[in-house]
Chain A
Amino acid sequence: MLTATDIRVSLSGTPVLNGLDFRAEPGQITAIVGPNGSGKTTLLRAMTQELPYEGEIRLGGADIALIPGWDLAARRAVLPQASRIAFPFTVLEIVRFGMMACADPPPPTRASEALERVGLAGFEGRFYQELSGGEQQRVQLARVLTQVWDPVGPEGPRWLFLDEPVSSLDIGHQLEVMDLMADYAAAGGGVVAVMHDLNLTAMYAGSVAMLVRGKLEAQGVARHVLTDRILSAAYGCRVQVGVAPGGDIPFVLPQAASSPGG
């Protein structure tokens, strides 16, 4: 269980998060959504201690500020939004960096296994810098996976914190990565992801947190949070929310302000 209570973060003097509460449970994907500038990434960065915050963040009952770095590294891994790497490392080298945090040395095939899971089998010898944005994103995901490979460790559930994990991927790879996250959660791990795509969120997330102007507007299952009313108010545009055929998964259709059909 991850809980964030009364979180306040200011960036260069401007308050970005104003007393926000958030919770995520292992066993499901928790998506953080909201308009640009609503504080999604800031919340993720506060919860991963990249930014100083006021308030309290607890992971598995313990205040994360008090958990030593190496212990945290064994329990949670973080995928950044975009990563540029300083030197010409190969894909294999980058993925192996994830295993630095592992207490017991994992089997040597682990890195290749992780690459296969993100759809990059055979990319081991390629240079990271020469890959496309989407491929780099998946290499980073493979690295993050090797760090917390087993969704449940001796100390409890492990966590993936992902900042827009599918933003630069095509639709096929988006589904592949979302499936991977869903598998991780289904096996008992925790997944917290900042998401832009509301339809993928609706399809995969067990819990959706809607952020608006640094506050938690709503959190719950997709069909309670992704409603016409909440979305229109949050994003300031007209949307139509329907239900996908053969289920209760909502889908979101944006409405043009002046559509040609009237």
Chain B
Amino acid sequence: MLAGLTVLLLVISAISLTVGASGANLWTALVQILRGEQIGLQESVILFDIRLPRLVMGILVGAALAVSGAVMQGLFRNPLADPGLVGVSAGAGLGAISAIVLGGLLPLTMREGLGYYTVPVAAFLGGWFTTILLYRLSTSRGRTSVAVMLLGGIALAALTGALSGILIYMADDAQLRDLTFWGLGSLAGATWEKVFVAGPLIVLALAATPFLARALNGLALGEAAAAHLGIPVQRMKNISILTVAAAVGAAVAVSGGIGFIGIVVPHLLRLMIGPDHRYLLPNAALLGASLLILADMISRSIIAPAELPIGIVTATLGGPFFLWILLRNRSLLDL
């Protein structure tokens, strides 16, 4: 499975590099590169300065969203937990917007120290805070209430949305321009700079997941049962929340809110390979990356040369899918 998904990711990546509005024959260029031949300047610029950062960012963001969805579902012991649905992305968004609008209020040394990382770090903090709040709200005595999680998530998303609105209202013209570019909810603004800004946080989060897999498996039995198996439950929950916040924060900071990857990918994989997190998490990273690149390809070719925001593509595919999961799991929900 892992090998199959790796091949899928490679194939989709190669197609994604060559498909687009430029009109240049990039397949030929790609083949030339593989043969070690020189390619033209135009092709080189399109490939290496436009398409490749976009591809790498798509891979990072797709993997981050899918894995954070899977970790969150394991943590909340519920297949409907998704960072986009329960307010974590909105919280990360609030963090990012705060950094853009209020960043000037930070002490100069801090601003200089964080540099380009100000927005993703703020998004990470926003996502972290929201996840902790949501977990506290919906879990008491080791039991997570699905109803409270979903409804609490709606409330948190609304609240953070309102706060974001206030901040946008306060923003000056230059900040508004930054916000517009940030809030497109797409990979369109991908640059190497953004890749290097979001990459480390996402890679760090992905690197933590192999250590979480066993604990998330144990948690599926319930918190008490996990503790009886010798799992340090509280520490693992804290690391899970940090992982989700880092992955979502970084993804939101560079691509705005892209929904449904976090719920569609883990669910598909559970149907195919079962729910064991040791296999679910690495496969989710690969499939999430593949799906997001595919969605990105659709978003930039369907009305080419214009681009459809990728959020619209993922929502069109993911919305019905989510409803389907909802109906299938109706008995589990107790709503």
- 14 A-B interface contacts by CB (under 8 A): A48-B228, A69-B230, A70-B230, A80-B222, A84-B222, A86-B74, A87-B79, A88-B275, A89-B276, A93-B274, A97-B217, A100-B229, A100-B231, A147-B229
CA distance A76 to B219 in the complex (A): 18
B71 nearest CB across to chain A (Å): 13
B residues less than 8 Å from A101 (CB atoms): 229-230
Interface size on B, residues (CB 8 A): 25
Decide: A83 and B218 in contact? CB cutoff 8 A: no
B245 nearest CB across to chain A (Å): 21
Chain A to chain B: the 8 pairs with minimum beta-carbon distance, closest first: A73-B230, A87-B275, A86-B77, A70-B230, A78-B228, A86-B220, A101-B230, A50-B224
In A43-91, which residues have CB < 8 Å from any B CB? 45, 48-50, 69-74, 76-78, 80, 83-90
Decide: B224 and A97 in contact? CB cutoff 8 A: no
Decide: B274 and A69 in contact? CB cutoff 8 A: no
A residues less than 8 Å from B227 (CB atoms): 49-50, 69
Contact A69-B221, Cβ < 8 Å, known A49-B227, A87-B275, A93-B274: no
CA distance A122 to B222 in the complex (A): 25
Indicate if B300 sits at the interface (CB-CB under 8 A): no
A residues less than 8 Å from B218 (CB atoms): 97, 100
Q: Kindly identify which residue among A49, A73, A85, A147 contacts B220, using a CB–CB cutoff of 8 Å.
A: A85
Indicate if B78 sits at the interface (CB-CB under 8 A): yes
Q: Kindly identify which residue among B73, B142, B222, B274 contacts A89, using a CB–CB cutoff of 8 Å.
A: B274
A87-B270, A93-B276 given; 18 more Cβ-contact pairs under 8 Å: A69-B231, A72-B228, A73-B229, A74-B230, A77-B228, A78-B224, A80-B222, A83-B221, A83-B222, A83-B225, A86-B219, A86-B220, A89-B275, A93-B274, A93-B275, A97-B218, A100-B229, A101-B230
Indicate if A34 sits at the interface (CB-CB under 8 A): no
A residues less than 8 Å from B210 (CB atoms): none
Indicate if A214 sits at the interface (CB-CB under 8 A): no
Decide: B274 and A100 in contact? CB cutoff 8 A: no
Indicate if B111 sits at the interface (CB-CB under 8 A): no
B residues less than 8 Å from A88 (CB atoms): 270, 274-275
Indicate if A190 sits at the interface (CB-CB under 8 A): no
CA distance A93 to B275 in the complex (A): 10
Q: Kindly identify which residue among A74, A76, A94 contacts B221, using a CB–CB cutoff of 8 Å.
A: A94
CA distance A70 to B227 in the complex (A): 9
Interface size on A, residues (CB 8 A): 29
Indicate if A98 sits at the interface (CB-CB under 8 A): yes
CA distance A77 to B226 in the complex (A): 11
In A79-126, which residues have CB < 8 Å from any B CB? 80, 83-90, 93-94, 97-98, 100-101
Closest to A93 in B: B276
CA distance A90 to B274 in the complex (A): 8
Contact with A along B256-272 (1 / 0, CB 8 A): 00000000000000100
Q: Kindly identify which residue among A45, A49, A76, A80 contacts B225, using a CB–CB cutoff of 8 Å.
A: A80
Indicate if B200 sits at the interface (CB-CB under 8 A): no
Decide: B275 and A97 in contact? CB cutoff 8 A: no
A residues less than 8 Å from B228 (CB atoms): 48, 72-73, 76-78, 147
In A19-56, which residues have CB < 8 Å from any B CB? 45, 48-50
A210 nearest CB across to chain B (Å): 26
B residues less than 8 Å from A89 (CB atoms): 220, 274-276
Q: Kindly identify which residue among B219, B232, B275 contacts A69, using a CB–CB cutoff of 8 Å.
A: B232
Q: Kindly identify which residue among A69, A78, A86 contacts B78, using a CB–CB cutoff of 8 Å.
A: A86
A31 nearest CB across to chain B (Å): 20
B residues less than 8 Å from A94 (CB atoms): 221
A residues less than 8 Å from B217 (CB atoms): 97, 100
Closest to A88 in B: B275
Decide: A78 and B225 in contact? CB cutoff 8 A: yes
B residues less than 8 Å from A86 (CB atoms): 73-74, 77-79, 219-220, 275
